[in-house]
Structure formats: C-alpha cells, structure tokens
Amino acid sequence: MGRKRRLEVEAEYWRLLQSGVGTVEACRQLGIGRKTGYRWRSEKGGLPPERVSEAVHSGRYLSLLERKRIATLREHGLDIREIAARLDRSPSTVSRELRRNMLEHDKGLYDADLAHHRSRQRGERPRRPKLRLDGVLRAEVQNRLDLEWSPEQIAAHLRALWPDRPERHLCHETIYRALYQGAKAS
C-alpha cells in the first residue's frame, strides 16, 4: 500500500472510531488487520491525530487554513467584507473571529495559530474525570485490567454491575484513554 493510500485508510479508520465504530469493526470494514488498528491507536496515544479531527469538523467552524488566510488577507490590508467574500463566509463570521481571538495584548495583530488554539480551547467541554473521582469505579476497572480483560469487556461489565448507576458506566474509549494518559480520562 502506498503512503498516500495508507494515510487515506488511516484517516478513514479514525473517522470510523469517532463515529462510534469499534476498532475491530473499523479494521474489518477497511480490510486491514486488527494489529494495524491497534498500532495506530498506540502510536497516537488513543487519540485521533490533529489533521483527521480538523477534517471532521463541520463547515460551521473556521479551519486553521481559513484562519491563516484571514491573517494573510488582513496583512494585505483587506477589509472584513473582502476577506469574507474570498473565504465564501459571512462578514459577521470574520468579524466575530477577529473580535473573539484577537486580544488587547496582541497589539492589533491577528495570529492564526494562536486564534485556532484559543477557539479550540473554548470549544472543549469541561468533563468530570470519573476514574479519578470515583475510587470504587477506579478499583473495579483496575481489578478487571489485572485479570487482563479488554476495555470493551470492562465497559460491558460496568453496565451489568451497576445498571441503575449511569454515572459509573464508561465507554471502552474512556478506559483506553485512561491507560494511555495515566488515568486522566473522564
């Protein structure tokens, strides 16, 4: 498989995972081995690479590329309406972008990378780290991991163990994330 084709398959693999398809099923759909999928996940710490998650966003949000174009066009002295027309966006979108992501200490300069970072930080949902806060849940997950259960098996077990306690239900992705990130998962 060529490099370009491999990157396309890997991007599709991550899209499938983000849509809720499990690793084994995603690998089956793409015609790749499970070990390949697990290797990709391991290499990325269980989280999709930036380029894939960027492509998954809807057209509702500005991409990093659009922000870089805004910065360049501003440097060339174009006004908001001209920039919006070139990006095929509403002038209010460009105006709001500049107002939200250009702070006073930026001294009137719009930095696309910094603006993109600020935007993504605002978009992150604050999550309660279930495994860190709930000692009983953490102990149950750890016991099952010690027995070499898979995260998928553990997730199903937690639902069966506590059917009326949804706050103690975890998806397998959360357990993987906890493994890869040292129990910082939610």
- What mean pLDDT is predicted for residues 165-171? 90
pLDDT at 157: 94
pLDDT at 186: 46
DSSP string, 35-68: HHHHHHHHHTTTS--HHHHHHHS-TTS--HHHHH
pLDDT at 96: 93
- Is the per-residue pLDDT at 33 higher than 80? yes
Top-confidence range, 37-46, 90-99, 128-137? 90-99
For residue 31, which phi and psi values (nearest 5 degrees)? 75, 30
How do residues 75-123 score in pLDDT, each as one tens digit?
A: 999 999 999 998 888 999 999 999 988 877 888 889 888 888 888 888 7
Confidence class of residue 137 from pLDDT cuts 50, 70 and 90? very high
pLDDT at 109: 87
The region of weakest confidence among 23-27, 40-44, 148-152, 176-180 is 40-44
Supply the mean pLDDT for the chain.
83
Confidence class of residue 143 from pLDDT cuts 50, 70 and 90? very high
- Is the per-residue pLDDT at 171 higher than 70? yes
Alpha helical stretches, state H, the chain? 3-18, 23-30, 34-43, 50-56, 64-75, 80-87, 91-101, 112-123, 130-133, 135-146, 151-161, 172-181
pLDDT at 80: 94
How do residues 46-77 score in pLDDT, each as one tens digit?
A: 777 665 544 444 567 888 888 988 999 999 99
